[in-house]
Copies of this chain bind each other. A is one copy, B any other.
Amino acid sequence: MSEINLGVTCDMHVHLRDGAMCQLITPTVRQGGISVAYIMPNLQPPITTIERVVDYKKQLQALAPQTTFLMSFYLSKDLTPELIHEAASIGAIDGVKCYPAGVTTNSSSGVDPNDFSAFYPIFNAMEQEGLVLNLHGEKPSTGENGNDIHVLNAEESFLPALKKLHQDFPNLKIILEHCTTAAAIETIEMINKGITDPAKIKVAATITAHHLYLTIDDWAGNPINFCKPVAKLPKDKRALVSAAISGKPYFFFGSDSAPHPLSNKARHINVCAGVYSQSLAIPYLAQVFEEQDSIDKLKGFVSDFGLQFYGVKKEDLKSLDEAIIFKRKQVVPNSISDGEGIIVAPFKAGDKLDWSVKWASK
């Protein structure tokens, strides 16, 4: 059986929550074949202080000593340029996550994406420090009032704001997180046109595992697949798959694995948005890449490109182990549980996957 070495893998968009959920989920980063994880700050309340981000990282590290955690602040009015400089100087954070107010889980403290100008001093400080700005790139829905922003066009409607930010901060590293539309892929391509040196990429996009599988029909009537941004149309999915297997260094992996207790997914109203894919992250991806005859492109997508963009240094890694994929079928469990009440249903529960992942010690 042939094995493929993916090197030091990274997932640049990970939700590990806190409390009992955090204890259950944090060890599954490594189980899913991921070595380096960039951690989202949307706890309740959001992470906006050095003390909290340091403490959170310590908790995570205790739960998963071999996983390297990159940490982030939650963009809000609580941040100051001074705080950004201080946090960067001690290596407390690698970036800042921007949530438009109200679009997804714990985003009520988010910002108005129609006007980022209040945060320009923050972005300026980030640009100086080489920190990454992670954008949840959706305009908040307006329903039938205003300009008809809804879950299908929310991402495309955000793209002008992305372009303006890049224009105003040409040296700020920006990621359009979990992109879901052909329009987003085109915008990232356009911004990077002519760039051949990966070190010169300033605007990149992460792509999740689940958006390589899902379209609107898969979440209509299946809350397990409901996430924000929602999976879009077949043509959008094809654009995402093409980008993921393209070998272009400005498209890399960010699972947006977002666990919720099953009881918050199996509801008739107010289903929590999020797909949990952490425990099988690499096998989900390998399946898609192989179907596209592009398994050779997987290493770039899950290792090289993300590590390069974030500037992760070898000396900062908690482990040099390399992820090895090999052909061994497995069935996605219907749920994972801590045995004490926390139950999470993984993406593609009950389905078969062709690939497994293991670690090679270094």
Contact = CB atoms under 8 A, between A and B. Distances in A.
A361 interface: no
Nearest to A235: B148
Report how many copies the assembly holds: 2
Nearest to A152: B216
Contacts of A271: 221-223
A233 interface: yes
Interface residues of A, number: 35
Interface stretch (A32-40, A185-193, A261-269): A261-269
Contacts of A125: none
Of A219, A220, A265, most B-chain CB atoms within 10 Å: A220
Contact of A270 (B221, B235, B270): B221
Nearest to A147: B234
Contacts of A234: 143-144, 148, 150
Interface in A212-243: 215-217, 219-224, 226, 230, 233-235, 237-238
Contact of A223 (B141, B221, B238, B272): B221
A215 B143 CA distance: 7
Interface of A: 141, 143-144, 148, 150-152, 215-217, 219-224, 226, 230, 233-235, 237-238, 262, 265-273, 345, 349
10 closest A-B pairs by beta carbon, nearest first, are: A144-B234, A265-B268, A266-B268, A221-B271, A224-B268, A148-B234, A223-B268, A141-B217, A151-B220, A150-B217
21 contacts: A141-B217, A143-B215, A143-B217, A144-B215, A144-B234, A144-B238, A148-B234, A148-B235, A150-B216, A150-B233, A150-B234, A151-B216, A151-B217, A152-B216, A220-B230, A221-B223, A221-B226, A221-B270, A222-B268, A223-B267, A224-B269
